[in-house]
Structure 1
Amino acid sequence: MFPAPAFAASGAPTALDAAGQMRALPMDAGPDGFAWRRVAEGLQFRVGGLTKSLLFYGHGLVRVTAHLGEACTTQPSLVVVARARPVAIDVDDAKDRLTLSALGLRVSVDKRSGALAFSGADGRLLLRERDTAPTELKRVDIDGSPTYRLAQTFTLTPDESLYGLGQYNEPYMDYRGREVLMVQTNIGIVVPFMVSTRRWGLLWDVYSKMSFSDGPQGASFRAESAPAGADYYVVAGADMDGVMAGYRTLTGAAPMFPKAAFGLYMSKERYQTQQQLLEVVRRFRAEHIPLDTIVQDWQYWGGEKDGPNGPEWDGQWSGMVWDRERYPDPAAMTRELHTKLHTQLMVSIWPSIGNDTALARELDAKQLRFEPLHWISKKARIYDAFSPEGRRIYFKHVKRGLLDVGVDALWMDGTEVEVGGAAHDPGEVEADIKRLGRNALGDFTRYLNVYSLVTTRGVYEGQRAAGPGGKRALTLTRSAWAGQQRYAALPWSGDTTASWAVLRQQIAGGLNVGMAGLPYWSQDTGGFFVNYAGGERNPAWRELYARWNQFGIFNPVYRIHGTNVEREPYLFKTLDPEVYGSLLGAARLRYQLLPYLYSLAWRSTQEGYIMMRGLAMDFPDQPALRKLDDTYMFGPAFLVQPITRPIFHPELPPPATVPPTQLRTPDGQAGLVLEYFEGMAFEKPASRTVDTVIDHRWPDPPLGSIPPGLASLNNFSARWTGTLTASESGEHEIGVEGDDGFRLWLDDQLVVDDWAVGGARFNSHRLALREGQVLKLRIDYFQAGGGRVLRLAWRTPGQLRTLAAQPKPDPRQATLLPASSDWFDFWTGERHAGGRSVERSYALDEFPLFVRAGAIVPLGPVVEYAGQSPDAPWEIRIYPGADGRFTLYEDDGETYRYERGERATTTLRWDDARRTLHVDARQGHYPGLLTRRTLNVRLMAVPGQAEQARTVDYQGKAVELRFAP
């Protein structure tokens, strides 16, 4: 059959109502029951009770909706800011199939099932729905609102890999053959955008609990509440960056962050006074350690009511008011930070608001707080960020209490949104959020995952009201959603626990956040919870911290944060000089990279680029690279492989649980006497039993559910008593693994005292025993919230001898180099052919870092803050072996004037065959532009050719530099 003539948009009805929802238009059914109609934005058809629409939003961008005759919502999208547009399409109406072509896409419709297949303009298949029952919808009623339950299934090709969707604390990136539960948590980030190595992306505009699974029956998305029915966007691109650019076209560009945002953020839980915070920054400056932002975490707040021990934290929670005693003059503090110490201030705020605050009273007057209490407070409740009025009131107090005294950036904690204490468990988080009831837009089943998007919208729009010349916004948030990048909000990965395994997971997770379309991401360098005995005095954690910091400098945003240990770099100067050298060297390298980083930030804003890139972004057709989850590109130049295992301080395998044969109760029974108490200080006896195996992961077996007499598995204490018998003679290591506080007595001597809230860790005592020697034993334990672990463990003399005889870790690290080019070792300058693995040992201040042949890398001076020495020379490194190109970007670094053209770019082009660097004429101008700069150009050495160097006084006019052959 010949193609039907192109249908122009003029005269065709629109399929969109005022809210952007699809409305079903009348159509005449054919003899096969299939009916279709041209609409201004694309095409609509009906088959088997389903009404489906195909609407075009731009080149390579098509929206698919499907419902049972009508959408169950009148709300416009919270995510997509682009609008469908009238388009001319070619339609081929064949017997069994309808095919339409427009804007670089070809979509085929199976008339029997309504299944869609998407191809590029060249006919190459991108993505297709399953042939039978691709869209499964069921009408349901949730909390009085009609909606659909949805399952949408696709058939994938065997040779493609899938990435994105956010961060789920797994050591893998590729979702082929995987299943993902998409519920926000403290340490989980949900972003419903997926990309394929076949150069397509899929964005779901659904906000409820979802899941993705890939198996023999296909790749399926399921949603608990999808009021519009199926509603997804296919994004096609010539390459992976084209797919990312399409996502930003749909959901909005990421505005530029301040230049200082790309320096170091120093943070802890928490600086407790104005004086302490200032002293930390003064020490950084005295030690000449780079720093751009100091962070004030929670509980700086105060208010009208003071208790006997200071402010009543519950009632003043996140009221945007400083405690007068501990922070007597926050405006003076920020002035000193800005003018004397050249440092920015970020401050933590929460969506939970204490009852005894002016903010709470103003919100309550409009009924804009939810009823359930926040877990950490008896007097704090979550505000309704779905309400424009709620956002306006919230921002008014943020501005008055924080921004107006000089705070530079906001840290919005708990935005998943956290209500209860079990913030790591998706099921409990889901239940907590649903208990909030209804918000200004509807029920929380429908809007489960999207709180972070709406609350960051409020603070961004409030700050942007200052106009195009205003100060740039930046918000750090513990959660994210599609489109959040347009509100200058970046997620971090939440309250992680320090371990080598978690470091490995952070790499994969951060890369998948980027490949879900969000250009900026961060994490707590060193792990938030540090459950190493001795904290910073433990050499095993210090090695982990040094390696984690090397990963941190190759994050889009570089932050050090956490609890349990001290981690300001200067503290290690005498404690561990080798670690100090590693921390300092890494921070200085980060600051040298500022010209490179800031230029990539502009690409993120202008082009939809991401700087932290899974290898599939640049090498999608090299299958050997697709499952490398610990190696990535950072911009176009650097291949980064953080070291994710101990080399100098190997970690021991966990000690064995003490067997029940070695334990006796005071009256001679096997095991120990176990007593439970309500309260964390043994306040009220609850129950008593004999415990044979001292290994508990409440509420898992062997205890099953909540122990007898306890109201819950939070805020209880327990005591074990009896005796322990040595199984052999020699030195024993005896200890306790616990989450929260524990103590161990042996023969009435306190040998382990770790009485503090914290994650699971092992703390022990060594002593020599004779075979058969009996020791009196007692364990005390308290549980606050979160993880619940208690285990009595030991290493016998034989086990200790076995450990001592184990070989030391292999210090060599292997790196697989992509086959597309040659690569230079950044530290040694050695050149390696791509497509093979290279291996060598790395000292604590080095790690696998390679530069692609053809890369042009601009480096600035070693500075202590981003704005220091603005007129210093820049070093331009050229890594020969291929042609290269890099565009330098400059603006004032602080305002939005770049949006009205006040910016400048300079393109550098390397012609490898002619060994010539072209420095093009500068494009653009802004007030304060440095009109001339010294460029020290280094052509890196290759075998048979020594390094060459040239110096240029660049004044904005085109320059050509030729190097000797």
Structure 2
Amino acid sequence: MKALPLAAAPEGFAWLRVAEGLQFRVGGLTKSLLFYGPGLLRVTAHLGEAYSTQPSLVVVARPRQVAVDVRDDADALTVTGPGLRVTVDKRSGALAFFAADGRLLTRERVQSPTELQRVDISGSPTYQLAQTFTLTPDESLYGLGQYNEPYMDYRGRDVLMVQTNIGIVVPFMVSTRRWGLLWDIYSKMTFSDGPDGATFRAESAPAGADYYIVAGDDMDGVMTGYRQLTGAAPMFPRAAFGLFMSKERYRTQQQLLDVVRRFRAEHYPLDYIVQDWQYWGGEKEGPNGREWDGQWSGMVWDTERFPNPVAMTRELHGKLHVKLMASIWPSIGNDTALAKELDAKGLRFEPLHWISKRARIYDAFSAEGRRIYFKHTKKGLLDVGVDALWMDGTEVEVGGAAHDPGEVEADIKRLGRNAMGDFARYLNVYSLVTTRGVYEGQRAAGPGAKRVLTLTRSAWAGQQRYAALPWSGDTTASWNVLRQQIAGGLNVGMAGLPYWSQDTGGFFVNYAGGERNPAWRELYARWNQFGIFNPVYRIHGTSVEREPYLFKALDPTVHGSLLSATQLRYRLLPYIYSLAWRSTQEGYIMMRGLAMDFPDQPALRKVDDTYMFGPAFLVQPITRAMFNAELPPPATVPPTQLRTPDGQAGLVLEYFEGMNFEKPASRTVDTVIDHRWPDPPLGSIPPGLSSLYRFSARWTGTLTAPESGEYEIGAEGDDGFRVWLDDQLIVDDWAVGGARFGGRRVTLREGQVLKLRIDFFQDGGGRVLRLAWRTPSQLRALVEAQPKLDQRQATLLPAGSDWFDFWTGQRHAGGDSAVRDYALDQFPLFVRAGSVVPMGPVVEHTGQSPDAPWEIRVYPGADGRFTLYEDDGETYRYERGERATTALRWDDARRTLHIDARQGRYPGLVTRRELRVRLMAASGQTEQARTVHYEGHPLILNFS
């Protein structure tokens, strides 16, 4: 946008009306205020020229011609539009935003609120931006995505907003003062809240400052405004709210089918089976370990391992009643038909993808690139019966260090330019454009088409309109990570995205013995209890076997916990599916930080492990061991106990190019065997190596025992490691994987000298190797200090209503802390008084027994209501009105449940259903129940 020809001195102030709002200039800065609807205001600012004419990738709404009242005073301009009032400081151009009722929402910093600097990046003019707001002391901030921290409130925090494998960036923030802030800038950004204010900084903002203020009467009103700007979230298939079973990976068609058949034989609920990478073939064992040829992600099936995908999907969809999701990547192997068609148009980037020396990323910023990519996806996957797509690596991942923001940023920028511009400008939005392509391609089939469902490892504002949900990436199993997942998932929701998921049990499991380790099994059971109260419920990972039925024999207690949790998820399907409709219709989010429903209770604002799931349930996953204590990590072996063959302190360290010691690179003496490469003493890359990928290392020398007794000796490594003592192999963990400890108990005598050798290889991802032990005295100290585990858990209950313990029925007053013991099959789960909760039967898939009776639970103590939603669960015909809703209203004073007349209908509607209504009672009291047959006509049930 060009600066308007306003008659004013360079340091003066001038303004004029425009159709959608107002524009003014002060001190060389041109700012615009444009109304997009009630409570929706866009603010732009630049130094006389905007360096972008492209339409927004995020905002689909358009500014509206509105009636704006302007009051021009000596020092300020007051602009009043629909739902918002804005004051403009004539000296600095600083803005203050007020709700329609006069409450202050937020304000820009009075002095230098908008700092812009013209720069050239990759040959294109743009701005570097710093925009600062002055916050009130009593507000808290949420949203922005997921950054693997155990906190939610961003007050006093710094955030680096760069996509990674395990980090999700969504540039929308919401305040407990009922305002939201959406940035329409796609480059690297940071947020910091400090004494000088809360500042957003952007590396490349071609239009200058460009943000939207969203005002609401409550927190849900802010979310509604966000969706009005960025688009509604379409309905997922009903099956998407059942269980997804996934692993890295099912290697054959036979294995995948056998897993599903076993689920059905065990009567364990399941709705989606997921086929992860390499079903397309091209894998082989090379001198450096796993290698892939140019078939990577070509949207085809390997004919040896998946000989008949059409027959496979036919069986899945038929007698097994299961849908199939398949993994696809933005990196495309050179030998595929897809790559050849893209290359003919110049639509792949030059840098090679880390997984293969013969794969490159496609340009999803190009409409033609998206069209070609979807054409092959449809032909190779959707047309053979695949129901949903899993778009992996969409940060976009290029190099192997996808967890490190700095390396991801550098990798993306090395891609150069895309169809829209340079990657500094478009650093964070690859996921948005690539999910757009597959959504628009599938929606072109019309209202009768199957609903789109896309899982993606990254996200951005507006991505919900493409039926894409993010998951949290390749996590590592630990109690701390589980704790971080709760806070991260809640902040993704409070950034405006209604759907989110994670790898239940952790992607990498670095527990000795894997699934045979009781400590991990306890963690898995607790993680699964969190998973059933996610918007989308998935089990996925590597390192261990985790199909739930396997634990029936291995650990019946854990199996019972997994099964009861999954069955509860399926019983709650009528409740969850109705919440999904609210997400589509109203912009609702079902996984809700406590500030969403209780913004004015300061005691709850920093509670990061407890949340609401819809309007009824308060969920607190258990995030610590109660039955299996975990030992602290073993200590690093001190250099005093290590000697090289010629008697120096430490061990001889040799580096090699290749993962199997192919080419000697360098040799040194290593005193402390504790590496997180790149190590500062060695520089960024050890001498002789060309990179920090696919190298190997060997340490040799001796180890001296400082005391007599039993030791635990081994190594902690990321990828493969082996340890020998006196030429005896005591640790053999020669496999790609995350950082984990492997050790063995050995008995040594004081002063004993043993020949020591350690081998290590690094493939991709992390780079860790540490020689570690527990000495006899350390092992004795651990036994003496063994923690006394506590099965009690305390839950702080929000004030303002009573709460029922879901398991026992005990009623608690709001504002109190509820404390009790929890067995492995229960966890803190409370229902708010006044809730009406519809529940279905225990089923094995979401399509089973569609006409079965439903249970309607009423939790008394306050008035309540809930709207049941139904449709065909598969198509988009609901968009043209083929759907049905039924309002359930509880009058607490009269102890009466009103079941209103059904609104709407659709083919396949169950017109007559048995409803078993239960008026829940506190423990020790008598529950009341009624059974009615509902045929769509109003009913009144009196429990007085």
Answering whether residue 806 of structure 2 is matched by residue 810 of structure 1, we say no
1:504 aligns with 2:487: no
- 1:530 paired to 2:509: yes
1:686 is aligned with what amino acid? A
- 1:848 pairs, out of 816, 828, 836, with 828
Is contact 2:11-2:26 (8 Å) kept? no
Deviation at 1:887, TM superposition (A): 0.3
* Counterpart Cα distance in 1 of 2:776 and 2:358: 53
**Partner of residue 140, structure 2:** 161
Structure 1 position 910 matched with structure 2 position 890: yes
**What is the match of residue 607 of structure 2?**
628
Q: Give the conservation status (yes or no) of the 8 Å contact 1:536–1:566.
A: yes
- Checking the alignment, whether the CA contact within 8 Å between 1:531 and 1:759 is kept in structure 2 is yes
Q: Aligned residue for 1:99?
A: 78
Which residue of 377, 385, 388 maps to 2:367? 388
Matched, 1:700 2:669: no
Q: Which amino acid aligns with 1:664?
A: R
Equivalent residue for 1:937?
Answer: 917
Q: Secondary structure at the match of 1:198?
A: coil
Give the Cα–Cα distance (whole angstroms) in 1 for the partners of residues 292 and 694 of structure 2.
Answer: 19
Query: C-alpha offsets along residues 44-98 of structure 1, whole Å, 9 cap, x if unaligned?
Result: 0000000000000001000000011111011000000000000001111000000
Show the counterpart of 1:188.
Answer: 167
Q: Distance in 2 between matches of 1:360 and 1:307?
A: 24
Once the two structures are TM-superposed, the CA of residue 942 in structure 1 deviates from its matched residue by 2.5
Q: Cα distance, 1:314 vs. partner?
A: 2.7
> Where does the alignment leave 5 or more consecutive residues of structure 2 unmatched?
none
Secondary structure, counterpart of 2:131 in structure 1? strand
Deviation string, structure 1 residues 680-705 (Cα, Å, up to 9, x no partner): 11112222222221111111244343
> Residue 671 of structure 1 aligns to which amino acid in structure 2?
G
Q: Identify the residue that residue 690 of structure 1 maps to in structure 2.
A: 669
**Separation of aligned partners in 2, 1:698 and 1:441:** 36
Query: What is the TM-score with the length of structure 1 in the denominator?
Result: 0.96
Which residue matches 1:402?
381
Partner of residue 879, structure 1: 859
* Correspondent of 1:202 among 181, 187, 193: 181
Give, as a single letter, the amino acid of the residue that structure 2 aligns with 1:434.
K
Q: CA deviation at 1:636?
A: 0.3
Alpha-carbon distance in 2 for matches of 1:667, 1:28: 84
Q: CA deviation at 1:41?
A: 0.1
Q: Counterpart amino acid of 1:495?
A: D
User: Superposition pairs for residues 611-626 of structure 1, below 5 Å?
Assistant: 611-626=590-605
Task: Quickly say closer, same or farther: Cα 1:32–1:147, change in 2 above 3 A.
Answer: closer
Q: Give per-residue Cα distances to partners, 1:209-250, cap 9 Å, x unaligned.
A: 011000001000010110110000000000000000000000
1:281, distance to aligned residue in structure 2 (A) = 0.3
RMSD (CA atoms): 1.6
TM-aligned CA deviation for residue 28 of structure 1: 2.7
Correspondence list, 1:361-760, <5 A: 361-760=340-739
- SS of the equivalent of 1:930 reads coil
Q: How far apart, in 1, do the equivalents of 2:285 and 2:603 lie?
A: 62
Superposition pairs of residues 73-112 of structure 1, within 5 angstroms: 73-112=52-91
Distance 2:630 2:217 in 1: 46
* Sequence identity percentage: 85
CA contact (8 A) 1:299 1:313 kept: no
Q: Which residue of 1 aligns with 2:809?
A: 829
Query: What per-residue deviation string (whole Å, max 9, x for no partner) do you get for residues 17-57 of structure 1?
Result: xxxxx443222327971000011000000000000000000
Matched, 1:858 2:828: no
Which residue type is aligned with residue 680 of structure 1?
M
Are 2:515 and 2:545, in contact at CA under 8 Å, matched by a contact in 1? yes
What is the distance in 1 between the residues matched to 2:291 and 2:655?
31
* Separation in structure 2 between the aligned mates of residue 702 and residue 950 of structure 1, nearest angstrom: 74
String of CA shifts for 1:779-833, please: whole Å, max 9, x gaps: 1111112211111111111111111122322221111110121111111111111
Deviation, structure 1 residue 333: 0.6
| Residue 330 of structure 1: how far off its partner (Å) | 0.7
Secondary structure, aligned partner of 1:241: helix
Residue identity matched to 2:112: A
Aligned length in residues: 942
**What TM-score does the superposition give when structure 2 sets the normalisation length?**
0.98
Match of 2:848 among 849, 868, 878: 868
* 2:174–2:180 Cα contact (<8 Å) kept: yes
Moved more, 509-518 or 940-949: 940-949
Rounded Cα–Cα distance in structure 2 between residues aligned with 1:121 and 1:602: 29
| Alignment match, 1:3 | none
What SS does the corresponding residue of 1:507 show, helix, strand or coil?
helix
The alpha-carbon distance between structure 1 residues 367 and 813, as it changes in their structure 2 partners (threshold 3 A), is same
1:5 equivalent in structure 2: none
1:953 aligns with 2:924: no
Counterpart Cα distance in 2 of 1:610 and 1:407? 28
- SS of 1:571's equivalent in the other structure is helix
Q: Deviations over 1:919-943 (max 9, x none)?
A: 1110001111100100101111126
Corresponding residue number in structure 2 for 1:48: 27
Q: How far apart in 2 are the matches of 1:920 and 1:49? A: 60
Shift of 1:307: 11
Is the 8 Å Cα contact of residues 178 and 213 (structure 1) preserved in structure 2?
yes
Would you say the 8 A contact 1:99–1:109 is kept in 2? yes
Q: 2:902 aligns with which of 919, 922, 932?
A: 922
Q: Aligned with 2:682: secondary structure?
A: coil
Q: Secondary structure at the match of 1:610?
A: coil
1:697 & 1:312 partners in 2: Cα distance? Answer: 25
Give 1:813's aligned amino acid: Q
The residue that corresponds to 1:17 in the other structure is: none
Deviates more, 1:626-635 or 1:654-663: 654-663
Structure 1 residue 758: deviation in Å?
1.0
Name whichever of 776-785 and 559-568 sits farther off: 776-785
CA distance in structure 1 between the aligned counterparts of 2:732 and 2:542, rounded to whole angstroms:
19
Deviation by residue 1:428-485 (Cα, 9 ceiling, x = unmatched) = 1111111111111111110110010010001000011011121110100000000000
Q: Does 1:347 align with 2:326?
A: yes
Report the AA paired with residue 676 of structure 2.
R
Return 5+ residue gaps in structure 1 as ranges: 1-21
The DSSP-based 3-state class of the residue aligned with 2:228 is: helix
CA distance in 1, matches of 2:97, 2:638: 61
1:315-354 equivalences under 5 Å are 315-354=294-333
CA distance in 2, matches of 1:769, 1:354: 53
* Structure 2 Cα separation of the partners of residues 551 and 702 of structure 1: 42
Deviation at 1:954, TM superposition (A): 0.6
**Contact in 2 for aligned 1:320/1:397 (Cα 8 Å):** yes
CA distance in 1, matches of 2:286, 2:425: 44
Greater CA drift, 859-868 or 798-807? 798-807
SS in 2 for 1:432: helix
Q: What residue in structure 2 maps to residue 27 of structure 1?
A: 6
Specify the SS of the correspondent of 1:462. helix
2 CA distance for matches of 1:534 and 1:951?
51
Q: What is the identity, as a one-letter code, of the residue corresponding to 2:480?
A: A
- Matched letter for residue 182 of structure 1: M
1:126 matched to 2:120? The reply is no
For 1:636 and 1:924, locate their aligned partners in 2 and report how far apart those are by CA, in whole Å: 24
Please tell me whether the aligned partners of residues 698 and 704 of structure 1 are also in contact (alpha carbons under 8 angstroms). no
Q: Could you list the runs of 4 or more consecutive aligned residues of structure 1 that deviate by over 4 angstroms after TM superposition?
A: 305-309
- Structure 2 CA distance, aligned partners of 1:485 and 1:944? 45
Aligned position for 1:19:
none
Q: Alpha-carbon deviation of 1:649?
A: 1.0
